[in-house]
Structure 1
């Protein structure tokens, strides 16, 4: 599978791009109607709609659903990538109520950041999970059910992709297409949403988060069973607001995850053995705790080379169900992002294999944020 990435051209991908080009040139933009569905098709739509609603309740339920699906259908590699990225979204959500960011950001800023993370996480699942379940039901009934994708407002970009996968079993092209689709899907609905742009993405504080390295995506794995702590591979997001950068970043993450079979097995094993709670204690219990062990108030520096200083209490990192309440989402806008065939050319090409060890980078990022919080407290103390 990995060897196919090294080719200059993938004939099956070329074929798919041609199909997508012809599809977008057709006048096939008539509004979808479920009045033509058979009783069987409507039952499938109803089952998927219900299951999507159940599993899209919180970041925890979404993250678990991705992993459960991948465990059943490992050929859908994107599902494991989505699980791991969604884990990181959960950690970022709870950070906002954790020991450091709760001191660096106001209550309003914390909530705005959470709303952006939660909305993006919710939207991607709302669009992707019905696709995964249609694959499940297509296999179960030995039928192609991808013509039902419009019932879930999935872009017309994806129907030829899934049909192509059914024929060619090209895991890489399917994963690449899902990466492209998800990032386009949130582009207008989140990144260019007026509220999120003004409240989060255009703020100095958000740019500071990028500088501090808090936009890291970590893939935990255990090198040794003797130690109850993880090492990491992964990457750091730069220029999150750029669509092309996010797509390229997603491709790099995919290559990073699946380019090394031995490391992939270790990552997968770690994910299976560590249920997602949203707390960073999930991967580093020696450093983080779900209970606040030190009294709130003035910060004392706790870290030294990713170890606790002598006598220091662990860093507070709450589970998601303690940090944030469940919120209701309004339905996504129905427009289709796929309006020009040039977008299909993004299916071509993947970056070279990434072999970054993120453990030291993560330690550095944690140290930076602790020092930033300490500096802010010193400044405000002097002003008082």
Structure 2
């Protein structure tokens, strides 16, 4: 691409337009998740957009879990609200930082010009500029993806993860320990393994030590490897994303176990086990997993501060970009075991409280 000097007014208008489009799409988890996929379908060379779409789907499922079948049975509203804040704020901040980069790339691609000088006015870390410049000439999707993973996890590190509120009200709580103990912290990529399958298969990874920055980056790179390593499976995962709109309900991928509709007339005589292997016990109702917009109202956000996380120019983060990562993958059987453990835990807690 050619390097050009844009008129000052044109630069300001483009930055303002990108900020407006970002604000409109950043309304809630559903709108963000859809925006990532819409972008990827037009620019499939930007692998990060599909990864972000799938991780954002998981973020939505985690948000609705907080109002679903199990979590309200073991946590009260005062405990649930901080978990939602962490998930929503992180989801919002990553989109706030990353989506303008995607929109600017789309404009560079349309014009055939290098406009990476506009990353700074958009509030993007100086860390990202050389990676976008390299991508314009090399088309190295993997390197750009790893750079975005490092950048976005750094972006939420001080703004969310290591805030005193988060450390005290979330990571040190019994509820967070419980979710980790039962291995319910998982990121799942659904797909139809064979055209005749009635149920979707699952691939993913367990998420442990979320408060650790390097571990989150490793998880992101491992998920990227999992998503793009197998071309045939990638196409099946992408087909799921296109075919099944994201609602926030886990019924999106496993409607044989989950429903977005709350049943009426629930008995008050304690929780009854529902799961039998990979199915429901005969006669038992499905697990409640609401639509996101039924579970949570849209919330306003304070603007992100303008501090650049890379202000100390620590070169180890450039070295981190160059390193791929892998973690043990989980499948549907692993996920099913986690659901059973969680259900047993809910049964135990509700029986003795």
Q: Which aligned runs of 4 or more in structure 1 are off by greater than 4 angstroms?
A: none
Q: How much does 1:37 deviate? A: 6.5
Which of 168, 182, 198 is equivalent to 2:138?
A: 168
| Contact 1:233/1:355 (<8 A) preserved | no
| Contact 2:93/2:156 (<8 A) preserved | yes
2:77 & 2:330 partners in 1: Cα distance? 34
Residue of structure 1 in register with 2:185 after alignment = 215
- Pair 1:348 & 2:322 matched: yes
CA deviation vs aligned residue, 1:349-371 (integer Å, no higher than 9, x gap) = 2135x673420111011111111
Residue of structure 1 in register with 2:305 after alignment = 333
Which of 56, 70, 87 is equivalent to 2:40?
A: 70
Name stretches of at least 5 consecutive residues in structure 1 with no aligned partner.
1-35
- State the secondary structure of the residue aligned to 2:352: helix
1:231 & 1:362 partners in 2: Cα distance? 10
Name stretches of at least 5 consecutive residues in structure 2 with no aligned partner.
1-5
2:316 & 2:253 partners in 1: Cα distance? 41
Residue of structure 1 in register with 2:64 after alignment = 94
The alignment of Structure 1 onto Structure 2 pairs a total of residues equal to 344
2:321 & 2:169 partners in 1: Cα distance? 33
Residue of structure 1 in register with 2:3 after alignment = none
Which of 111, 120, 130 is equivalent to 2:81?
A: 111
- State the secondary structure of the residue aligned to 2:187: strand
CA deviation vs aligned residue, 1:296-351 (integer Å, no higher than 9, x gap) = 44211100112010100111110000000100000112111112222211112213
Which of 95, 110, 113 is equivalent to 1:125?
A: 95
Q: How much does 1:294 deviate? A: 5.6
Q: How much does 1:216 deviate? A: 0.3
| Contact 2:94/2:152 (<8 A) preserved | yes
2:303 & 2:265 partners in 1: Cα distance? 41
Which of 237, 241, 245 is equivalent to 1:275?
A: 245
Residue of structure 1 in register with 2:286 after alignment = 314
Which of 40, 59, 73 is equivalent to 2:29?
A: 59
- State the secondary structure of the residue aligned to 1:232: strand
| Contact 1:306/1:363 (<8 A) preserved | yes
Instruction: Give 1:26-37 correspondences, 5 Å limit.
Output: none
Describe the shift of the 1:270–1:307 C-alpha distance in structure 2 as closer, same or farther (beyond 3 A): same
| Contact 1:294/1:313 (<8 A) preserved | no
Describe the shift of the 1:37–1:241 C-alpha distance in structure 2 as closer, same or farther (beyond 3 A): farther
- Pair 1:374 & 2:324 matched: no
- State the secondary structure of the residue aligned to 1:151: coil
- Pair 1:254 & 2:224 matched: yes
Which of 227, 237, 243 is equivalent to 2:213?
A: 243
- Pair 1:200 & 2:174 matched: no
TM superposition score normalised by structure 1: 0.87
Structure 1 stretch 314-323 or stretch 224-233: which is displaced more? 224-233
Q: CA RMSD in A?
A: 1.4
| Contact 2:260/2:288 (<8 A) preserved | yes
1:295 & 1:360 partners in 2: Cα distance? 32
Structure 1 stretch 323-332 or stretch 101-110: which is displaced more? 101-110
